[in-house]
Chains A and B, each alone.
Chain A
Amino acid sequence: MSAADSFSRLAVFRRLRSRDAVFRILTRTSALGVLMVLGSAIVVLVSGALPALRAFGLAFLTTEMWNPVTEKFGALAPIYGTLVTSAIAMTIAVPVSLMIAVFLTEICPMRLRRPIGIAIELLAGIPSIIYGIWGLFVFAPFLQHTLQPFLIELFGPVPVLSTLFAGPPYGIGILTAGLILAIMVLPFIASISRDVFEAVPPVLKEAAYGVGCTTWEVVRYVVLPYARVGVIGGVMLGLGRALGETMAVTFVIGNAHRVSGSILAPGTTISATIANEFTEAVGDLYSSSLIALGLILFVITFIVLALARYLLMRLEDRVAP
């Protein structure tokens, strides 16, 4: 009887073990699948970009020329546009979203927290094409009549800034794209920051208040240092979205392959160029140049993520006791 008992117990164990093996294989294939998808994307991008890289070499990165008639292409203008619009977006979105998050977690009366929190999440849920249409029909004309003439007037006599804000006020352009991107990435950074701020142990804050700290001091010396790793994660997520955003930017950036000193001038980004021109790229070199642009965007994103990882690692080293 005990033999039969142990036999059935063995069978149960075996069944459990085989079930575990299946589970392990399933999870491992899923994880390796990601690597394979990523790997094949890299292979396709590189092989597609090769003709263009062979034809233009490293000069592809440094020339502004983008001429489909003579099939001479350079990526400088889209790279410049991508970086500058993202920089504008982050300059505006990071401080504003941090302030939103601080307000929501530290200062906001309880009654208002939920509605404001939900509003931020809704802002994140709006499809980018809606931002694009709104940007083109509402926001760009508004900027054209108000902010842009004001900036041109204001900085006209200032030496460096007068080139940075040189007219005519088109309404659309690099600045408009940057502002739209700022609005689009703001909810991501704000809601992640809010979550990590909420995770700060109340004991720490209470202790700080207990020794007579002001709200500002609590935020500055307790909340922010405790949550900075998470905040940087949120900022990087927002930056990733800003770098790759296509539809909204295409609508409002002006789609001109030029590097201009003025941020009111039209420009283009890598993803906007690809979206605009891919259906029309008839020559092999033309399509290959567009794929090369895709590869460059991939590399830029990779560098940004690697930098973020590195930054996080160093912070964790310092924070850890």
Chain B
Amino acid sequence: MKKLFHAVAAASFALAATLAPAIAAEISGAGATFPYPIYAKWADAYKKETGIGLNYQSIGSGGGIKQIKAKTVTFGASDAPLSGKDLEETGLVQFPMVMGGIVPVVNLDGITAGELVLDGPTVASIFLGEITNWDDPAIKKLNPSAELPNQAIAVVHRSDGSGTTYNFAYYLAEVSENWKSNVGVNTSLQWRVGIGAKGNEGVANNVANTKSSIGYVEFAYALQNKLTYTNMVNKAGKVVAPTSEAFQAAAANADWKSKPGYGVILANQPGDTSWPMTAATWILIYKNPQDPAAAAEALKFFAWCYRNGGKMAEELDYVPMPANVVEDIEKTWAAEIKDASGKPLSATTN
């Protein structure tokens, strides 16, 4: 009887302990689909530790920017950084949260992950519709030993605007004059060929379902969907595979302070081991938020992610931000994000 009483007491105590924080507000955010897998993982771990949940809608970077401007969420997330002028006009603070790699994914009989090699100009030509067959000499030249089918290439791209598209186009514009002058760089593009799919998930699904297709997704999506990713020739002319090390190498030399709001694009970085389509993703939050308590909660979560989330990020093949960059970011928070009385909100993080 006494045992039962103890059990009931313990159970109700545990229940009360889990219920109390559940009443606390959820952190709300919206934006990029590129970092969604790692945000979801962090949020899950954070909820177990603190009881505070995250409500993140992965609606695409442009949507994230729109939602934060409309003040319907506490933070926005974008893979395409806002310009210094934009940040000043809107009163937003921007900082990078995590980095990752964009990989070309293909669906070809007999070709396994990492077997095919592509380079920037070839990828640009494929997505411009200039190379239309897998049998093309340009692809053969990069893959002398691979057995490439004589089949039309089915191109799959994003139909919604997306930061993944922005970074992908940014890289192609760096390496292909033709791409730069004919298509350009934006979160949505005028595609010459191919079918459009919604979200990283949509592209992954379409490539998985369509024989002889090529698409581009964030690396975590390629792994989760067991897609055949390709290797790439980087700026130094070396063939690299998409790995954490290759993403890190690209991120290593980035000069984060050179652009306002840490808006450095990591595509086509120098270095023998750098993955050419590396990308960062940013968080947007107001300098003087409408709801300072919610903003403080969000900052607490981000600080926790920087400190405890590195390993989880690596497990999903993202690259955590380097410690010195995190230090700078936290200094930026303390200096810029304040409540109505001018008290820095991030002071409550420790």
A positions within 8 Å CB-CB of B: 65-70, 136-137, 140-141, 144, 167-168, 170-173, 250-251, 254-257, 266, 268, 276-277, 279-282
Contact = CB atoms under 8 A, between A and B. Distances in A.
Given A257-B190, A279-B62, A280-B63, A167 B152 contact: yes
B195 A254 contact: yes
B316 interface: no
B51 to A, nearest CB: 31
B159 interface: yes
Interface string B184-212: 11111111001111100000011001111
10 contacts: A67-B190, A137-B209, A171-B210, A250-B159, A254-B196, A255-B198, A256-B195, A279-B59, A280-B66, A280-B160
A277 B161 CA distance: 6
Interface residues on B, range: 20 to 34
Given A170-B195, A256-B196, A266-B195, A277 B210 contact: no
B282 to A, nearest CB: 15
B161 A168 contact: no
Interface in B93-115: none
B242 interface: no
Interface in B162-203: 162, 183-191, 194-198
A152 to B, nearest CB: 11
B184 A276 contact: no
Given A136-B205, A172-B195, A255-B196, A66 B190 contact: yes
A136 B210 CA distance: 11
Contacts of B188: 68, 277, 280
Interface in B50-81: 59-63, 65-66
A279 B70 CA distance: 12
A280 to B, nearest CB: 3
Nearest to B197: A255
A148 to B, nearest CB: 11
B319 interface: no
Most chain B CB within a 10 A radius of its CB, from A144, A173, A254: A254
A280 B186 CA distance: 11
Nearest to A73: B190
A280 B65 CA distance: 9
A68 B189 CA distance: 6
Nearest to A67: B190
Interface of B is mostly: loop
B246 interface: no
A256 B212 CA distance: 19
Contact of B198 (A141, A250, A266): A250
B152 A68 contact: no
Nearest to B153: A168
A255 B189 CA distance: 12
Contacts of A171: 209-210
Contacts of B249: none
A160 to B, nearest CB: 22
Contacts of A281: 62, 161
Nearest to B63: A279
Question: Which 3 A-B residue pairs are closest in the complex by CB-CB distance?
Answer: A280-B161, A255-B196, A280-B62
B116 interface: no
Contact of A279 (B160, B186, B194, B197): B160
A65 B159 contact: no
Contacts of B206: 172
Contacts of A257: 190-191
Nearest to B64: A279
Contacts of B160: 276-277, 279-280
Contacts of A266: 194-196
Given A66-B190, A168-B212, A255-B159, A282 B195 contact: no
B161 A65 contact: no
Nearest to A254: B195
B209 A279 contact: no
B268 to A, nearest CB: 19
B161 A68 contact: yes
B198 A173 contact: no
Given A276-B160, A279-B59, A279-B60, A68 B205 contact: no
B185 to A, nearest CB: 7
A156 to B, nearest CB: 14
Contacts of B196: 254-256, 266, 268, 276
